[in-house]
Amino acid sequence: MGLARRAPVVVALAGAALLFPLQARLDARRTPPPDVLEVLPPRAILPVLTFGHAQTASNLLEIRATNFLMRWLEGMDRLRHEHISRLYDAILTLDPRDAGAYRRASTYFFSVADRSDLAREYLERGVDPARGVPADHPERWTLFVELASIELMGGLGAPEAERLERVRRGGELLMRAVGLPGAPPELETFAQRLATRGLSPLEALRYDEQRWLEAAKHGEPAMRAQAERRLIEARAALIAQALQLIADDVARQAGAPPADLDALWRFVDAAMRNQERNGGPVPAPLAVLREHGVEDPLGVGFRLEEGRVVAPGVDARRLQRLLEERFLRWRQARPGEVPTAEHLGLERAAPHLEVLIDEAGVRVVPR
């Protein structure tokens, strides 16, 4: 009787004690995980199976992915990379708007798996508003930054030509982040600096021209009109730079710069004919001029002043834009005050331009 009364307690306690060795043995025998990673249904069907809780499922899966990463970070092999890839495919199928998930996936593939191709693939899927993060998502810009950093980091240690190309592409990608919701304003300067870093001025300008050409072809009508104006400026600057290079060349060979623009054009003409006759690679400045015509197709009024090719109208507009922005920033910091040209970082204006600064803003006019 006494024993019978105590039996349940004894059973419970003895059983609880038995659980420890039993569980240890079970853990030891655990077959390697056909983890959720492996048994995940195909992407096509996945959203159906979550019965309206795709986002939740996506989050849960990402917890799984993170756990998996934490657990296997050391000694990751190719197979496991594929698991992560499958897992992130699932996560992003379930919630394609999750900018963070694209970013984390790319970080993983770029920094852990050494697969910049896959990292780029995820980000490219993410920045496509049709397939990935919507255009007005406040984090979409970060994906461009990630893409840019893949380019920049990938260029380190590469041959010079490739490095420069990557730097330029990185800048280009950063430029795409500029102006997106949430993107910090400093980004633009940084991007511009990157986009032109390591490029010859001509290349940089050519790149600028290409950028506005793209913008003028695509995008909102209002944006297009703006881009067309900027394209003219970019081309003018490009042509001016090409002419400048030839002028410098003439000055080097003849000991003095061409007397005026007409003289310069005559040199250009001679150089082109020379090149046609002799064959061989076309020097970059000539290529620019051949492409855009040898006169002044845009009618910006190029001039040669003290050996420098200037386009007063265009130069004024470009300088004005730059100063306007600095002016605004200055005014934001010190309301009511009027900055001087030095305050705006202008050491010395080009002689063909006049800078006027007052309460209303900055105006740059050609002399």
Partner 1 sequence: MSWLGPVLAVAGLAFRESARNRVLHALVGATLLMTGASVVFGWVSGDEQARQLKIVADLSLSAIALLGTIASIFLGTNLVYQEVERRTVYTVLARPIDRGGFIVGKYLGLAGVMAVAVAAMSAGFLLVYGLAGGRPSVGLLVALALTYVELAVVIGVAVFFSVAAHPIEGAVFAFVVALAGHVTADLQRLGADLARDASGVGVVVLEKVLYGAYVLLPNLENFNVRPHAAHGVAIDPAHAGLALVYAVVYVAILLGLATVVFRRKVL
Binding of residue 23 to partner 1 (CB under 8 A): yes
CB of 47 to partner 1, least distance (A): 11
Closest CB 91 distance from partner 1, rounded Å: 18
For the record, the structure tokens of 331 come out as 């005014």
Based on CB atoms, which residue is closest to partner 1, 67 or 274? 67
The CA dihedral of 110, 115, 119, 122, to the nearest 10 degrees, is -150
R_g over Cα of the chain:
31
Interaction between residue 3 and partner 1 (CB under 8 A): no
Interaction between residue 254 and partner 1 (CB under 8 A): no
Q: Which residue in this structure is represented by tokens 């105006």?
A: 363
The distance in angstroms from the start CA to the end CA of the chain is 117
One character per residue 57-96, x = contact with partner 1 (rule: CB under 8 A): ----------x--xx-------------------------
As a three-state string, the secondary structure of 134-197 is CCCCCCHHHHHHHHHHHHHHHHCCCCHHHHHHHHHHHHHHHHHHCCCCCCCCHHHHHHHHHHHC
Choose, by CB under 8 A, the member of 3, 16, 79, 161 that binds partner 1: 16
41 binding partner 1? (CB under 8 A): yes
Q: Considering only residues 3, 31, 78, 220, which one is a binding residue for partner 1 as defined by CB under 8 A? A: 31
Is there binding between residue 35 and partner 1 (CB under 8 A)? yes
**Taking the complex as a whole, how short is the minimal distance between the CB of residue 359 and partner 1, in angstroms?**
60
Q: Compute the least distance from the CB of residue 114 to partner 1, in Å.
A: 25
Q: How far apart are CA 129 and CA 126, in angstroms?
A: 7
The closest of 76, 75, 78, 90 to 37, measured between CA atoms, is: 90
Q: For residues 47 and 93, is the Cβ–Cβ distance under 8 A?
A: yes
- Give whichever of 23 and 200 is closer to partner 1, judged by the CB atom: 23
**Residues 237/239/240/246 CA torsion (nearest 10 deg):** 150
Nearer to partner 1, 28 or 259 (CB): 28
Amino acid at 223: M
Contact 103, 62 (CB under 8 A): no
Q: Cβ 221 to partner 1, closest distance in Å?
A: 42
How far apart are CB 24 and partner 1 at their closest, in Å? 8
Alpha-carbon gap, residue 349 to 133, rounded angstroms: 45
Asked if 39 touches partner 1 (CB under 8 A), the answer is yes
Q: In this complex, which beta carbon is closest to partner 1, that of residue 30 or of residue 78?
A: 30
**Minimum distance from residue 141 beta carbon to partner 1 (Å):** 33
Asked whether 216 and 228 are in contact (CB, 8 A), the reply is yes
Q: Do 219 and 227 form a contact (C-beta atoms < 8 A)?
A: yes
Q: How many other β-carbons are positioned within 10 Å of the β-carbon of residue 312?
A: 20
* Interacting residue with partner 1 among 2, 3, 9, 74 (CB under 8 A): 9
- CA atoms of 248 and 57, how far apart (whole Å): 65
Adjacent-strand bridge partners of 304: 309
CA 243/CA 303 separation, integer angstroms: 10
Query: Min. distance of Cβ 105 from partner 1 in angstroms?
Result: 21
* The token pair that represents 246 in the structure block: 């030839």
Angle between helices 140-155 and 99-107 (to 10 degrees): 10
Stretch that binds partner 1, among 5-13, 78-86, 180-188, 324-332 (CB under 8 A): 5-13
Applying CB under 8 A, among 3, 30, 130, 306 the residue interacting with partner 1 is: 30
Q: Taking contact as CB under 8 A, which single stretch among the options 15-23, 178-186, 301-309, 340-348 is the one that binds partner 1?
A: 15-23
Provide the minimum distance between the beta carbon of 97 and partner 1 in the complex, in angstroms, as a whole number: 23
How many residues bind partner 1, per CB under 8 A? 34
Q: How many CA atoms lie within 13 A of 17 on its CB side?
A: 5
What residue ranges bind partner 1 (CB under 8 A)?
4-5, 7-12, 15-16, 18-20, 22-23, 25-26, 29-31, 34-36, 38-39, 41-42, 44-45, 48-49, 67, 70-71
